[in-house]
Structure 1
Amino acid sequence: MRHLSLLFLLIMSCFPLHAQIENITEKYDLPNAVSETSGLLFLNGKLITHNDSGDAANLYELDTITGNIIRTINISNATNVDWEDITQDDTYIYIGDFGNNSNGNRQDLKIYRILKSDFTNSTSITSETIAFSYEDQTDFASQPNNSNFDAEAISVYKDKLVIFTKNWKDNTVNAYTIPKIIGNHSAKKVSSYTSNGLITGSTYNKDDDSFLLCGYTTNGAPFLIYIKVNAITNDAIFSGVIERTDINPTLGPSQIEGITAISGEKYFLSREKVEIGGTVLTQKLYRFDNGSFSPLHIDDVELTRLQVFPNPSQEILFIKGLNLDIKQLFVIDINGKTVINQKNSNNQILIKELTIGTYFLKIALKNNTIITKKFIKN
């Protein structure tokens, strides 16, 4: 558990592209047995969660109506060093034992893989192990609250596992990929994004081809990051359409930890039990849908009129045909890094200083709609 009372000494950052989401509803307090709920998974109409450390190697299956524990499933050949998230594909459940306690010094990072059929049919099962290390980590000295090699989020995407880091040092998030197969792998860094907060959970929604990340800022304000991935290139997760939503007005200061897609726009979100300033916030489950996100909510006619030209371009891009007010313009490289960030200036943006290559122009409108267009700098 990371105690938020230690984080409230810092000042909240300001985020230029955030919307409010009002439809998050509290379901119930989770059982005391899962007070450190760290990951969520929706499977066969039931909710699965686990604690992040200090517990046996147990998964807990919950009734989504009452919140009661239906079954406790023990993985007999696994150990819960620091379980942080859980994900699935058609055949397996994957459990991320890669929490690094903000220190960055673990060298036994692993993901446990279990058969869904075993999970469904028994309460005592075995697992296989996918071990990994970060390709760019060379220093394993303990650096409390100052490491970029902690992680609390994992999702299956196509034929890979995507690990989203919890960067204590610079408040960004890195996306790494590894194969879903048993073995010892080097996690490949494929994308980065300035999250201005700590990422604690992720889920992939195949219904609309998107990731939804959850986390909290350095002063405990929870947020969500929606990533529409149909425009990504070379696994650069953060080159897709991105929208950040501050959910602090709805939840208040909270140590949000787990998130899972149910179906369509429906999601569950969990909060870990934590003490803040002498007040104990109990472990809770929340329910919401992502209809409040508006990255593509714009009339089709307006989209067909939108032009970004010339493309390719050497010095300047012009935006034409969009009747809605533009608030901000961003240029994102193929690794998901923001290389230009400017307020709208006569619907144009200078790109002369960029190196030759492929980029994405993110157009943020004043109604919180976000449109992304690919262009080439030559």
Structure 2
Amino acid sequence: MKALLITFVLFLQFTLHAQVSGCTDPLSNNYNPQATVNNGTCSYGPSSVAPVSSVNLPDAVNETSGLVKWEERLLTHNDNTDLKLYSLDSISGAVLQTFTVAGTSNTDWEEIAQDGQHIYIGDFGNNGNGNRTNLRIIRVSKEELLSGDLQANSIHFSYSNQINFTATGGNNTDFDCEAFIVSNDSIYLFTKQWVSKKTSVYALPKTPGTHIAQFKTTYDVSGLITGATYMEDKKLVVLTGYSTLLQPFFYLLYDFSGHSFFSGNKRKISMSSMGFHQVEGIATSNGLDYFVSNEHFVRVPLVNVSQKLHKFDLRPYLQEYLENLPLMTSHNDIRNRIRVYPNPAGDHLYIEIEPSLVGIQYSFIDMNGRNAQSGTLNSERNRLDIGRLRSGVHVIRVSDFPDYSYRLVKRD
């Protein structure tokens, strides 16, 4: 019993010592290189990014309102009565193919999302009077969509905290929605709040039927959210939207806990050279390159912005985060037993391990697959001299845990 108590105390001491809460993003203003737990406090200065390319879209999709990257396809749709999905060429913007979603209707399609088996279409635009009672998400099998023999199902929902359905008038409600994402087991809505300029997150099952969308949280984005794309395995959500003056922006959410999307890093980036672009759709397949579409917007006589497809490179903001994600983890989650900091690193690196791991071997593998440095972790807190490592990305591996790999960025 005494030995068991001592072991527990040592484990507790290691856990308390290893967990340091703070800002873990090196790109932030308040990065803490000692932090191992992201507490969501990272702050950032103003940033803007210009599109790599922009092309006009055909008149057939002049009200493009959602976008998804499905294999080599870019799919979009209109937010009027049109029942078609349009497959776009990602370079020219030309319509390559159309798919008719038969057996349903289009009251106000505002977003499109996907999982491995299905396409989901958000028929939940609610800016007219804020009092729709027929909100839904249409679910279509990808296999049936390609074959042309499809049966659309509907996921009907209402908001858990909407009790007043009095007509508000146009663009005067906080119960409008134009963005959602699909996880392994749920759908998450991001509302477009015309009054507060915030967004609220609601969760509901992704199975057909009638459900209550459960309120989760609200966050002040100082704008109107119109689109979302999600990489669940990388804990990355990127929202798009625009200000009341139609200045479009990205909102990056990453390194969050579970499905608490606003618990991690939150960074707003303006889209430069795109004034009066009513951005509506956003899609990515790698977390670095993003496609964004905007509707045709006219305010005569001064403003006439045609519908377009834009491509953005967000590597300066997300590449370091994505590269430093652990490559593989064991079922016992070895990450919680090994702490590596700082990352990126200069000439010295610290590796802290729990007492039971003292004596394990480590190695640094460069991008050519060569063993660049190796040794033994002889204590719970190990200070390593890595000054001889070349700058760039290295993979740290340890003995006894072949499934564990950790990306380290070495800087001069």
TM-score, normalising length: structure 2: 0.65
CA drift at 1:17: 4.2
Write the deviation string for residues 118-142 of structure 1: whole angstroms up to 9, x where unpaired.
Answer: 11222x6330010000000000111
Match of 2:167 among 125, 142, 152: 142
Task: Indicate whether 1:183 and 2:209 are aligned.
Answer: yes
Task: Indicate whether 1:115 and 2:138 are aligned.
Answer: no
User: CA 1:28 to 1:190, structure 2 compared with 1: closer, same or farther past 3 Å?
Assistant: same
- Counting only pairs closer than 5 Å after superposition, residues 35-114 of structure 1 correspond to structure 2 as 35-53=62-80, 55-114=81-140
CA drift at 1:191: 1.8
Would the aligned equivalents of 1:191 and 1:237 in 2 still touch at CA under 8 Å? no
CA drift at 1:102: 4.7
Would the aligned equivalents of 2:115 and 2:184 in 1 still touch at CA under 8 Å? no
Aligned to 2:315: 291
TM-score, normalising length: structure 1: 0.71
Match of 2:267 among 240, 243, 250: 243
The one of the two structures with greater contact order (alpha-carbon pairs below 8 A, sep at least 6) is 1
Identity %: 36
Would the aligned equivalents of 1:190 and 1:237 in 2 still touch at CA under 8 Å? no
- Give SS of 1:101's match: coil
Write the deviation string for residues 313-356 of structure 1: whole angstroms up to 9, x where unpaired.
Answer: xxxxxxxxxxxxxxxxxxxxxxxxxxxxxxxxxxxxxxxxxxxx
Would the aligned equivalents of 1:173 and 1:199 in 2 still touch at CA under 8 Å? yes
Match of 2:154 among 105, 123, 129: 129
CA drift at 1:18: 4.8
User: CA 1:236 to 1:191, structure 2 compared with 1: closer, same or farther past 3 Å?
Assistant: farther
User: CA 1:107 to 1:167, structure 2 compared with 1: closer, same or farther past 3 Å?
Assistant: same
Match of 1:273 among 293, 296, 299: 296
Aligned to 2:329: none
Would the aligned equivalents of 1:243 and 1:293 in 2 still touch at CA under 8 Å? no
Aligned to 1:27: 54
Would the aligned equivalents of 1:73 and 1:125 in 2 still touch at CA under 8 Å? no
- Give SS of 1:238's match: coil
Q: Distance in 2 between matches of 1:135 and 1:77?
A: 28
Q: Which amino acid in the other structure matches residue 273 of structure 1?
A: H
- Where do 5+ consecutive residues of structure 1 fail to align? 1-15, 306-378
User: CA 1:261 to 1:117, structure 2 compared with 1: closer, same or farther past 3 Å?
Assistant: same
Would the aligned equivalents of 1:257 and 1:270 in 2 still touch at CA under 8 Å? yes
User: CA 1:117 to 1:135, structure 2 compared with 1: closer, same or farther past 3 Å?
Assistant: same
- Counting only pairs closer than 5 Å after superposition, residues 220-369 of structure 1 correspond to structure 2 as 220-228=246-254, 230-232=255-257, 235-247=259-271, 249-278=272-301, 279-293=303-317, 299-301=343-345
User: CA 1:304 to 1:190, structure 2 compared with 1: closer, same or farther past 3 Å?
Assistant: farther
Structure showing greater radius of gyration is 2
Q: Which amino acid in the other structure matches residue 184 of structure 1?
A: T
- After superposing on structure 2, the runs of 4+ consecutive aligned residues of structure 1 that deviate more than 3 Å are 16-19, 294-305
Aligned to 1:10: none
User: CA 1:294 to 1:46, structure 2 compared with 1: closer, same or farther past 3 Å?
Assistant: closer
Aligned to 1:5: none
Q: Distance in 2 between matches of 1:109 and 1:43?
A: 25
Q: Distance in 1 between matches of 2:207 and 2:64?
A: 27
Q: Distance in 2 between matches of 1:158 and 1:217?
A: 31
The worse-fitting range, judged by mean Cα deviation, of 150-159 and 80-89 is: 150-159
Q: Which has the higher strand share?
A: 1
Write the deviation string for residues 257-305 of structure 1: whole angstroms up to 9, x where unpaired.
Answer: 1001132411100011001352210000000122132696684449989
- Where do 5+ consecutive residues of structure 2 fail to align? 1-42, 322-341, 351-412
CA drift at 1:207: 5.9
Would the aligned equivalents of 1:260 and 1:269 in 2 still touch at CA under 8 Å? yes
Write the deviation string for residues 203-245 of structure 1: whole angstroms up to 9, x where unpaired.
Answer: 10246320000000111111110001x4325x32211211111
- Give SS of 1:49's match: strand
Q: Distance in 2 between matches of 1:294 and 1:114?
A: 32
Q: Distance in 1 between matches of 2:317 and 2:299?
A: 30
Across the two proteins, how many residue pairs are aligned to each other? 285
Would the aligned equivalents of 1:242 and 1:295 in 2 still touch at CA under 8 Å? no
User: CA 1:108 to 1:290, structure 2 compared with 1: closer, same or farther past 3 Å?
Assistant: same
